[in-house]
Structure 1
Amino acid sequence: MEGIICSYHHLYAISLAPRVTTKIFGSCIRVLCNSNIDKGFKLGKDVSLPVTYIRSSENPLKDIGGNPPSERPILAFFAGGMHGYVRPILLQYWYNKKPDMKIIGPMPRDAEGKAKYREYMKSSKYCICAKGYEVHTPRVVESIYYECVPVIISDNYVPPLFEVLNWEAFALFVSEDDIPNLRDILLSIPEERYIMMQRRLKMVQRYFLWHKIPLKYDLFHMILHSVWHNRVFQVSS
Protein backbone atom coordinates (compact mmCIF):
# COMPACT_ATOMS: atom_id res chain seq x y z
CA MET A 1 0.00 0.00 0.00
CA GLU A 2 2.94 2.32 -0.51
CA GLY A 3 2.05 5.79 -1.69
CA ILE A 4 -1.23 5.95 0.24
CA ILE A 5 -1.54 9.13 2.27
CA CYS A 6 -4.10 9.00 5.08
CA SER A 7 -5.47 12.07 6.89
CA TYR A 8 -7.12 11.57 10.30
CA HIS A 9 -7.88 14.06 13.06
CA HIS A 10 -7.85 11.52 15.87
CA LEU A 11 -5.71 8.49 16.48
CA TYR A 12 -8.68 6.52 17.73
CA ALA A 13 -9.75 6.19 14.10
CA ILE A 14 -7.12 3.46 13.93
CA SER A 15 -9.38 1.23 16.00
CA LEU A 16 -11.85 1.03 13.11
CA ALA A 17 -11.71 -2.43 11.54
CA PRO A 18 -8.21 -3.13 12.93
CA ARG A 19 -7.73 -6.34 11.00
CA VAL A 20 -8.06 -4.42 7.75
CA THR A 21 -6.37 -1.17 8.70
CA THR A 22 -3.33 -2.35 10.68
CA LYS A 23 -1.35 -3.33 7.60
CA ILE A 24 -2.45 -0.24 5.68
CA PHE A 25 -1.52 2.17 8.47
CA GLY A 26 1.88 0.58 8.71
CA SER A 27 2.84 2.01 5.32
CA CYS A 28 0.72 5.18 5.32
CA ILE A 29 1.93 8.70 5.91
CA ARG A 30 -0.68 9.83 8.41
CA VAL A 31 -1.47 13.54 8.75
CA LEU A 32 -2.61 14.00 12.35
CA CYS A 33 -3.70 16.86 14.56
CA ASN A 34 -3.08 14.63 17.57
CA SER A 35 0.66 14.36 16.95
CA ASN A 36 1.40 12.58 20.21
CA ILE A 37 4.53 10.44 20.21
CA ASP A 38 3.17 8.67 23.29
CA LYS A 39 0.16 7.47 21.26
CA GLY A 40 1.81 6.16 18.15
CA PHE A 41 2.85 9.25 16.19
CA LYS A 42 5.91 8.19 14.19
CA LEU A 43 8.65 10.78 13.79
CA GLY A 44 10.00 10.83 10.25
CA LYS A 45 6.85 9.19 8.85
CA ASP A 46 3.72 10.88 10.16
CA VAL A 47 2.96 14.58 9.65
CA SER A 48 1.75 16.98 12.34
CA LEU A 49 -1.32 18.88 11.12
CA PRO A 50 -1.77 22.32 12.72
CA VAL A 51 -5.17 23.04 14.24
CA THR A 52 -6.44 26.36 12.95
CA TYR A 53 -9.58 28.46 13.20
CA ILE A 54 -10.50 30.15 9.94
CA ARG A 55 -12.66 33.05 11.02
CA SER A 56 -13.60 34.17 7.53
CA SER A 57 -13.51 32.06 4.38
CA GLU A 58 -13.61 35.24 2.30
CA ASN A 59 -10.79 36.90 4.25
CA PRO A 60 -8.70 34.30 6.13
CA LEU A 61 -6.14 36.96 7.09
CA LYS A 62 -8.65 39.14 8.94
CA ASP A 63 -7.20 40.67 12.15
CA ILE A 64 -3.79 39.03 11.65
CA GLY A 65 -0.94 40.79 13.47
CA GLY A 66 -0.36 42.27 16.90
CA ASN A 67 1.20 45.03 18.94
CA PRO A 68 4.96 45.67 18.95
CA PRO A 69 6.92 44.31 21.95
CA SER A 70 6.88 47.70 23.71
CA GLU A 71 3.06 47.67 23.69
CA ARG A 72 2.55 44.25 25.26
CA PRO A 73 2.05 44.88 29.00
CA ILE A 74 0.75 41.37 29.77
CA LEU A 75 3.49 38.84 30.50
CA ALA A 76 1.40 35.73 29.78
CA PHE A 77 -2.16 35.05 28.65
CA PHE A 78 -4.39 32.01 28.61
CA ALA A 79 -8.15 31.62 28.32
CA GLY A 80 -10.10 28.49 27.54
CA GLY A 81 -12.22 25.61 28.70
CA MET A 82 -11.05 23.25 31.41
CA HIS A 83 -10.44 20.31 29.09
CA GLY A 84 -8.07 17.60 30.26
CA TYR A 85 -5.86 17.69 33.35
CA VAL A 86 -3.26 20.37 32.47
CA ARG A 87 -5.48 23.44 32.27
CA PRO A 88 -7.02 23.05 35.75
CA ILE A 89 -3.48 22.84 37.15
CA LEU A 90 -2.55 25.98 35.23
CA LEU A 91 -5.45 27.89 36.76
CA GLN A 92 -4.83 26.43 40.19
CA TYR A 93 -1.40 28.05 40.27
CA TRP A 94 -1.95 31.21 38.25
CA TYR A 95 -5.58 32.31 38.18
CA ASN A 96 -5.80 35.79 39.71
CA LYS A 97 -2.35 35.42 41.31
CA LYS A 98 -0.22 38.06 39.55
CA PRO A 99 -1.40 41.13 37.60
CA ASP A 100 0.93 40.39 34.68
CA MET A 101 -0.32 36.78 34.40
CA LYS A 102 -3.69 36.89 32.64
CA ILE A 103 -4.61 33.25 33.21
CA ILE A 104 -8.37 32.77 33.13
CA GLY A 105 -10.99 30.19 32.23
CA PRO A 106 -13.52 30.31 29.39
CA MET A 107 -14.37 33.67 27.86
CA PRO A 108 -17.72 34.60 26.29
CA ARG A 109 -18.00 33.28 22.75
CA ASP A 110 -20.02 36.20 21.42
CA ALA A 111 -18.47 38.82 19.12
CA GLU A 112 -17.37 41.01 22.04
CA GLY A 113 -15.77 38.10 23.89
CA LYS A 114 -13.89 36.92 20.80
CA ALA A 115 -12.64 40.45 20.12
CA LYS A 116 -11.41 40.71 23.72
CA TYR A 117 -9.66 37.36 23.40
CA ARG A 118 -7.79 38.55 20.31
CA GLU A 119 -6.87 41.81 22.03
CA TYR A 120 -5.37 39.91 24.97
CA MET A 121 -3.24 37.89 22.55
CA LYS A 122 -2.14 40.99 20.68
CA SER A 123 -1.19 42.66 23.99
CA SER A 124 0.70 39.74 25.59
CA LYS A 125 4.35 38.82 25.31
CA TYR A 126 3.71 35.11 25.76
CA CYS A 127 0.59 33.09 24.98
CA ILE A 128 0.13 29.89 26.93
CA CYS A 129 -0.75 26.95 24.69
CA ALA A 130 -1.81 24.34 27.24
CA LYS A 131 -3.05 20.98 26.02
CA GLY A 132 -6.69 20.03 26.45
CA TYR A 133 -8.00 16.51 26.05
CA GLU A 134 -5.28 15.86 23.46
CA VAL A 135 -1.80 17.28 22.88
CA HIS A 136 -2.82 19.74 20.16
CA THR A 137 -4.47 23.13 20.58
CA PRO A 138 -5.42 25.88 18.10
CA ARG A 139 -3.70 28.40 20.39
CA VAL A 140 -0.34 27.51 18.88
CA VAL A 141 -1.30 28.89 15.47
CA GLU A 142 -3.39 31.67 17.01
CA SER A 143 -0.31 32.84 18.89
CA ILE A 144 1.63 32.97 15.65
CA TYR A 145 -1.17 34.90 13.95
CA TYR A 146 -1.18 37.54 16.71
CA GLU A 147 2.64 37.59 17.06
CA CYS A 148 2.56 36.40 20.66
CA VAL A 149 5.41 34.00 21.50
CA PRO A 150 3.82 30.56 22.07
CA VAL A 151 4.53 28.78 25.35
CA ILE A 152 3.64 25.17 24.65
CA ILE A 153 2.70 23.10 27.69
CA SER A 154 2.01 19.70 26.21
CA ASP A 155 4.41 16.85 26.84
CA ASN A 156 4.96 14.51 23.87
CA TYR A 157 3.55 17.03 21.36
CA VAL A 158 5.22 17.23 17.96
CA PRO A 159 4.65 20.72 16.49
CA PRO A 160 3.73 21.20 12.83
CA LEU A 161 6.41 21.81 10.22
CA PHE A 162 9.10 20.67 12.66
CA GLU A 163 10.88 19.09 9.70
CA VAL A 164 11.93 22.52 8.45
CA LEU A 165 11.38 24.95 11.34
CA ASN A 166 13.46 25.33 14.49
CA TRP A 167 10.61 25.88 16.94
CA GLU A 168 12.91 26.73 19.83
CA ALA A 169 13.93 29.87 17.92
CA PHE A 170 10.45 31.40 18.22
CA ALA A 171 8.56 29.38 20.86
CA LEU A 172 9.03 27.98 24.35
CA PHE A 173 8.36 24.44 25.50
CA VAL A 174 7.57 24.15 29.19
CA SER A 175 7.17 20.79 30.89
CA GLU A 176 3.79 20.11 32.47
CA ASP A 177 5.63 19.57 35.76
CA ASP A 178 7.02 23.12 35.56
CA ILE A 179 3.65 24.90 35.65
CA PRO A 180 4.30 26.11 39.24
CA ASN A 181 7.50 27.78 37.96
CA LEU A 182 5.93 29.27 34.84
CA ARG A 183 6.24 32.94 35.77
CA ASP A 184 9.84 32.54 36.95
CA ILE A 185 10.72 30.80 33.69
CA LEU A 186 9.25 33.62 31.61
CA LEU A 187 10.82 36.37 33.72
CA SER A 188 14.23 34.69 33.41
CA ILE A 189 14.23 35.24 29.65
CA PRO A 190 16.26 38.36 28.79
CA GLU A 191 14.37 41.08 26.96
CA GLU A 192 16.80 40.82 24.05
CA ARG A 193 16.03 37.14 23.62
CA TYR A 194 12.28 37.76 23.77
CA ILE A 195 12.51 40.47 21.11
CA MET A 196 14.53 38.14 18.88
CA MET A 197 12.01 35.32 19.36
CA GLN A 198 9.12 37.61 18.54
CA ARG A 199 10.94 38.85 15.44
CA ARG A 200 11.52 35.28 14.28
CA LEU A 201 7.89 34.48 15.00
CA LYS A 202 6.83 37.19 12.58
CA MET A 203 9.22 35.75 10.00
CA VAL A 204 7.68 32.25 10.13
CA GLN A 205 4.10 33.54 10.28
CA ARG A 206 3.77 33.30 6.49
CA TYR A 207 4.08 29.51 6.67
CA PHE A 208 0.96 29.24 8.85
CA LEU A 209 -1.38 31.46 6.85
CA TRP A 210 -4.37 30.27 4.86
CA HIS A 211 -5.40 32.07 1.68
CA LYS A 212 -8.62 31.83 -0.28
CA ILE A 213 -6.42 30.82 -3.22
CA PRO A 214 -3.27 29.05 -1.93
CA LEU A 215 -0.03 30.98 -2.29
CA LYS A 216 3.52 29.70 -2.41
CA TYR A 217 4.87 28.82 1.06
CA ASP A 218 1.50 29.20 2.82
CA LEU A 219 0.13 26.53 5.15
CA PHE A 220 -1.54 24.57 2.36
CA HIS A 221 1.77 24.15 0.56
CA MET A 222 3.79 23.63 3.74
CA ILE A 223 1.61 20.70 4.81
CA LEU A 224 2.13 19.12 1.40
CA HIS A 225 5.85 19.79 1.77
CA SER A 226 5.87 17.93 5.10
CA VAL A 227 4.21 14.94 3.44
CA TRP A 228 6.72 15.07 0.58
CA HIS A 229 9.63 15.43 3.02
CA ASN A 230 8.61 12.40 5.04
CA ARG A 231 7.97 10.36 1.91
CA VAL A 232 11.48 11.11 0.68
CA PHE A 233 12.87 10.41 4.15
CA GLN A 234 11.28 6.96 4.18
CA VAL A 235 12.58 6.12 0.72
CA SER A 236 16.11 7.26 1.55
CA SER A 237 16.12 5.32 4.82
Structure 2
Amino acid sequence: METSVRVLCNSNIAGGFKIQKDVSLPVTYVRSAEDLLKDLGGNPPSARPVLAFFAGGIHGYLRPILLQHWSEKEPDMKIFGPMPRDPEGKAKYRELMKSSKYCICARGYEVHTPRVVESIHYECVPVIISDNYVPPFFEVLDWESFSVFVLEKDVRDLRNILLSIPEEKYMKMQRRLKIVQQYFLWHKNPVKYDLFHMILHSIWYNRVFQVKSE
Protein backbone atom coordinates (compact mmCIF):
# COMPACT_ATOMS: atom_id res chain seq x y z
CA MET A 1 0.00 0.00 0.00
CA GLU A 2 2.90 2.38 0.65
CA THR A 3 3.91 2.31 -3.02
CA SER A 4 0.42 1.96 -4.53
CA VAL A 5 -1.51 4.83 -6.07
CA ARG A 6 -4.84 4.69 -4.23
CA VAL A 7 -7.92 6.10 -6.00
CA LEU A 8 -10.31 7.28 -3.29
CA CYS A 9 -13.66 9.06 -3.13
CA ASN A 10 -12.87 9.90 0.48
CA SER A 11 -9.83 12.02 -0.31
CA ASN A 12 -9.34 13.16 3.26
CA ILE A 13 -5.88 14.45 4.22
CA ALA A 14 -6.70 13.88 7.87
CA GLY A 15 -7.67 10.30 7.01
CA GLY A 16 -4.41 9.37 5.36
CA PHE A 17 -4.88 10.64 1.80
CA LYS A 18 -1.44 11.52 0.46
CA ILE A 19 -1.13 14.37 -2.01
CA GLN A 20 1.16 13.60 -4.97
CA LYS A 21 0.58 9.88 -4.46
CA ASP A 22 -3.14 9.17 -4.10
CA VAL A 23 -5.89 10.15 -6.54
CA SER A 24 -9.16 11.88 -5.68
CA LEU A 25 -12.04 10.07 -7.43
CA PRO A 26 -15.06 12.24 -8.36
CA VAL A 27 -18.36 11.06 -6.88
CA THR A 28 -20.96 11.06 -9.66
CA TYR A 29 -24.54 10.01 -10.30
CA VAL A 30 -25.59 8.50 -13.61
CA ARG A 31 -29.10 9.88 -14.15
CA SER A 32 -29.83 7.91 -17.30
CA ALA A 33 -27.86 5.00 -18.77
CA GLU A 34 -29.33 5.83 -22.17
CA ASP A 35 -28.55 9.55 -22.07
CA LEU A 36 -25.51 10.24 -19.88
CA LEU A 37 -25.73 13.98 -20.54
CA LYS A 38 -29.43 14.30 -19.74
CA ASP A 39 -30.38 17.65 -18.12
CA LEU A 40 -26.82 18.95 -18.47
CA GLY A 41 -26.39 22.71 -18.10
CA GLY A 42 -28.32 25.37 -16.26
CA ASN A 43 -29.84 28.83 -16.47
CA PRO A 44 -27.70 31.83 -17.44
CA PRO A 45 -26.47 33.97 -14.51
CA SER A 46 -29.24 36.50 -15.08
CA ALA A 47 -31.84 33.76 -14.50
CA ARG A 48 -30.41 32.50 -11.20
CA PRO A 49 -32.38 34.34 -8.49
CA VAL A 50 -31.33 31.99 -5.66
CA LEU A 51 -28.09 32.91 -3.91
CA ALA A 52 -27.36 29.48 -2.43
CA PHE A 53 -28.99 26.05 -2.48
CA PHE A 54 -28.51 22.85 -0.50
CA ALA A 55 -30.66 19.78 0.00
CA GLY A 56 -29.57 16.45 1.35
CA GLY A 57 -29.42 13.97 4.19
CA ILE A 58 -28.61 15.42 7.58
CA HIS A 59 -25.69 13.26 8.61
CA GLY A 60 -22.32 14.16 10.05
CA TYR A 61 -21.85 17.07 12.43
CA LEU A 62 -21.77 19.93 9.88
CA ARG A 63 -25.08 19.65 8.05
CA PRO A 64 -27.25 20.10 11.17
CA ILE A 65 -25.33 23.34 11.84
CA LEU A 66 -25.91 24.44 8.23
CA LEU A 67 -29.65 23.91 8.57
CA GLN A 68 -29.81 25.44 12.04
CA HIS A 69 -28.35 28.71 10.78
CA TRP A 70 -29.78 28.94 7.26
CA SER A 71 -32.93 26.87 6.82
CA GLU A 72 -35.87 29.27 6.31
CA LYS A 73 -33.78 32.24 7.46
CA GLU A 74 -33.31 34.22 4.22
CA PRO A 75 -35.45 34.10 1.05
CA ASP A 76 -32.39 33.80 -1.20
CA MET A 77 -30.92 30.91 0.83
CA LYS A 78 -32.69 27.67 -0.11
CA ILE A 79 -31.29 25.29 2.50
CA PHE A 80 -33.24 22.05 3.06
CA GLY A 81 -32.94 18.58 4.45
CA PRO A 82 -33.72 15.59 2.22
CA MET A 83 -36.08 16.31 -0.67
CA PRO A 84 -38.54 13.69 -1.97
CA ARG A 85 -36.87 11.18 -4.27
CA ASP A 86 -39.88 10.74 -6.53
CA PRO A 87 -39.67 12.15 -10.09
CA GLU A 88 -41.26 15.43 -9.03
CA GLY A 89 -38.83 15.88 -6.12
CA LYS A 90 -35.80 15.08 -8.28
CA ALA A 91 -36.97 17.54 -10.94
CA LYS A 92 -37.38 20.24 -8.27
CA TYR A 93 -33.86 19.51 -6.97
CA ARG A 94 -32.36 19.89 -10.45
CA GLU A 95 -34.31 23.08 -11.12
CA LEU A 96 -33.03 24.64 -7.89
CA MET A 97 -29.45 23.80 -8.85
CA LYS A 98 -29.99 25.28 -12.30
CA SER A 99 -31.52 28.43 -10.75
CA SER A 100 -28.91 29.07 -8.02
CA LYS A 101 -25.71 31.08 -8.23
CA TYR A 102 -23.96 28.92 -5.63
CA CYS A 103 -24.56 25.30 -4.67
CA ILE A 104 -23.51 24.27 -1.18
CA CYS A 105 -21.35 21.14 -1.09
CA ALA A 106 -21.25 20.42 2.63
CA ARG A 107 -19.56 17.30 3.94
CA GLY A 108 -21.61 14.60 5.63
CA TYR A 109 -20.05 11.65 7.43
CA GLU A 110 -17.13 11.84 4.99
CA VAL A 111 -15.39 14.75 3.27
CA HIS A 112 -16.72 13.96 -0.22
CA THR A 113 -20.17 14.65 -1.66
CA PRO A 114 -21.69 14.10 -5.13
CA ARG A 115 -22.92 17.69 -5.06
CA VAL A 116 -19.51 18.88 -6.22
CA VAL A 117 -19.88 17.21 -9.62
CA GLU A 118 -23.63 17.88 -9.71
CA SER A 119 -22.94 21.60 -9.29
CA ILE A 120 -20.52 21.52 -12.20
CA HIS A 121 -23.05 19.67 -14.36
CA TYR A 122 -25.69 22.32 -13.66
CA GLU A 123 -23.23 25.26 -13.93
CA CYS A 124 -23.82 26.29 -10.32
CA VAL A 125 -20.62 27.51 -8.64
CA PRO A 126 -19.70 24.91 -5.97
CA VAL A 127 -19.23 26.14 -2.42
CA ILE A 128 -17.14 23.43 -0.80
CA ILE A 129 -17.46 23.26 2.98
CA SER A 130 -15.26 20.32 3.86
CA ASP A 131 -11.96 20.79 5.64
CA ASN A 132 -9.16 18.42 4.55
CA TYR A 133 -10.98 17.51 1.31
CA VAL A 134 -8.79 17.20 -1.79
CA PRO A 135 -10.88 17.90 -4.92
CA PRO A 136 -10.54 15.76 -8.06
CA PHE A 137 -7.89 16.62 -10.65
CA PHE A 138 -6.29 19.19 -8.36
CA GLU A 139 -3.01 18.39 -10.14
CA VAL A 140 -4.17 20.27 -13.25
CA LEU A 141 -7.28 22.30 -12.30
CA ASP A 142 -7.26 25.58 -10.40
CA TRP A 143 -10.32 24.93 -8.27
CA GLU A 144 -10.31 28.38 -6.69
CA SER A 145 -10.94 29.87 -10.15
CA PHE A 146 -14.36 28.21 -10.47
CA SER A 147 -15.44 27.33 -6.92
CA VAL A 148 -15.52 28.73 -3.40
CA PHE A 149 -13.97 27.11 -0.34
CA VAL A 150 -15.46 27.92 3.06
CA LEU A 151 -14.01 26.61 6.31
CA GLU A 152 -16.37 24.45 8.35
CA LYS A 153 -16.06 26.85 11.28
CA ASP A 154 -17.33 29.71 9.09
CA VAL A 155 -20.66 28.14 8.05
CA ARG A 156 -22.49 30.58 10.33
CA ASP A 157 -21.17 33.44 8.18
CA LEU A 158 -21.97 31.71 4.88
CA ARG A 159 -24.34 34.29 3.42
CA ASN A 160 -22.02 37.22 4.14
CA ILE A 161 -19.12 35.35 2.56
CA LEU A 162 -21.09 34.75 -0.63
CA LEU A 163 -22.49 38.28 -0.77
CA SER A 164 -18.97 39.67 -0.40
CA ILE A 165 -17.92 38.06 -3.71
CA PRO A 166 -18.03 40.77 -6.39
CA GLU A 167 -20.39 40.14 -9.28
CA GLU A 168 -17.50 40.32 -11.73
CA LYS A 169 -15.65 37.56 -9.86
CA TYR A 170 -18.78 35.40 -9.77
CA MET A 171 -19.22 35.82 -13.53
CA LYS A 172 -15.61 34.74 -14.13
CA MET A 173 -16.07 31.67 -11.91
CA GLN A 174 -19.26 30.75 -13.74
CA ARG A 175 -17.60 31.05 -17.14
CA ARG A 176 -14.65 28.93 -16.02
CA LEU A 177 -17.06 26.39 -14.56
CA LYS A 178 -18.60 25.90 -17.99
CA ILE A 179 -15.12 25.41 -19.45
CA VAL A 180 -14.07 22.71 -16.97
CA GLN A 181 -17.44 20.95 -17.20
CA GLN A 182 -16.15 18.75 -20.02
CA TYR A 183 -13.71 17.08 -17.60
CA PHE A 184 -16.55 15.79 -15.40
CA LEU A 185 -18.74 14.14 -18.03
CA TRP A 186 -19.23 10.44 -18.72
CA HIS A 187 -19.79 9.17 -22.26
CA LYS A 188 -20.74 5.68 -23.44
CA ASN A 189 -17.58 5.75 -25.53
CA PRO A 190 -14.89 7.82 -23.81
CA VAL A 191 -14.25 11.24 -25.32
CA LYS A 192 -10.94 13.07 -25.13
CA TYR A 193 -10.57 14.97 -21.84
CA ASP A 194 -13.73 13.49 -20.32
CA LEU A 195 -14.06 11.99 -16.83
CA PHE A 196 -12.69 8.61 -17.87
CA HIS A 197 -9.54 10.13 -19.33
CA MET A 198 -9.08 12.60 -16.46
CA ILE A 199 -9.11 9.81 -13.86
CA LEU A 200 -6.51 7.89 -15.84
CA HIS A 201 -4.45 11.07 -16.20
CA SER A 202 -4.44 11.60 -12.43
CA ILE A 203 -3.23 8.03 -11.87
CA TRP A 204 -0.53 8.44 -14.53
CA TYR A 205 0.52 11.85 -13.16
CA ASN A 206 0.91 10.60 -9.60
CA ARG A 207 2.69 7.46 -10.68
CA VAL A 208 5.20 9.52 -12.67
CA PHE A 209 5.69 11.77 -9.64
CA GLN A 210 6.35 8.71 -7.45
CA VAL A 211 8.94 7.38 -9.87
CA LYS A 212 10.73 10.74 -9.97
CA SER A 213 10.65 10.97 -6.17
CA GLU A 214 12.15 7.51 -5.85
Which deviations, in whole Å up to 9, do the C-alpha atoms of 1:120-141 show, x marking residues without a partner? 0000000000001100000000
Following TM superposition, by how much is the alpha carbon of 1:83 offset from its aligned partner in structure 2, in angstroms? 1.1
Runs of 4+ in 1 over 2 A off after TM superposition: none
Partner of 1:236 in structure 2? 212
Q: How does 1:78-117 map to 2 (within 5 A)?
A: 78-117=54-93
Which deviations, in whole Å up to 9, do the C-alpha atoms of 1:23-52 show, x marking residues without a partner? xx1111000000000000000000000000
Q: How does 1:19-38 map to 2 (within 5 A)?
A: 25-38=1-14
Which deviations, in whole Å up to 9, do the C-alpha atoms of 1:36-87 show, x marking residues without a partner? 0000000000000000000111111000000000000000000001011110
1:69 alignment partner, one of 22, 34, 45: 45
TM-score, with normalisation over the residues of structure 1?
0.89
CA distance in 1, matches of 2:172, 2:122: 16
2:130 alignment partner, one of 141, 151, 154: 154
Partner of 1:54 in structure 2? 30
TM-score, with normalisation over the residues of structure 2?
0.99
CA distance in 2, matches of 1:56, 1:117: 16
CA distance in 1, matches of 2:8, 2:34: 26
Following TM superposition, by how much is the alpha carbon of 1:198 offset from its aligned partner in structure 2, in angstroms? 0.2
Q: Which amino acid aligns with 2:166?
A: P
Q: Would you say how many aligned residue pairs link Structure 1 and Structure 2?
A: 213
* Structure 1 stretches lacking a partner, 5+ long: 1-24
CA distance in 2, matches of 1:155, 1:57: 33
Q: Which amino acid aligns with 1:230?
A: N
Q: Relative contact order: is structure 1 or structure 2 higher (C-alpha 8 Å, sep ≥ 6)? A: 2
Aligned to 2:2, what secondary structure does the other structure show?
helix
CA distance in 1, matches of 2:32, 2:94: 15
The reply to whether residue 126 of structure 1 matches residue 126 of structure 2 is no
Following TM superposition, by how much is the alpha carbon of 1:236 offset from its aligned partner in structure 2, in angstroms? 1.2
CA distance in 2, matches of 1:184, 1:178: 10
Partner of 1:42 in structure 2? 18
Q: Which amino acid aligns with 2:83?
A: M
Aligned to 2:128, what secondary structure does the other structure show?
strand
Q: Which amino acid aligns with 2:20?
A: G
Partner of 2:161 in structure 1? 185
Partner of 1:142 in structure 2? 118
Pairwise CA RMSD: 0.4
Partner of 1:7 in structure 2? none
Q: How does 1:186-225 map to 2 (within 5 A)?
A: 186-225=162-201
| Higher alpha-carbon Rg | 1
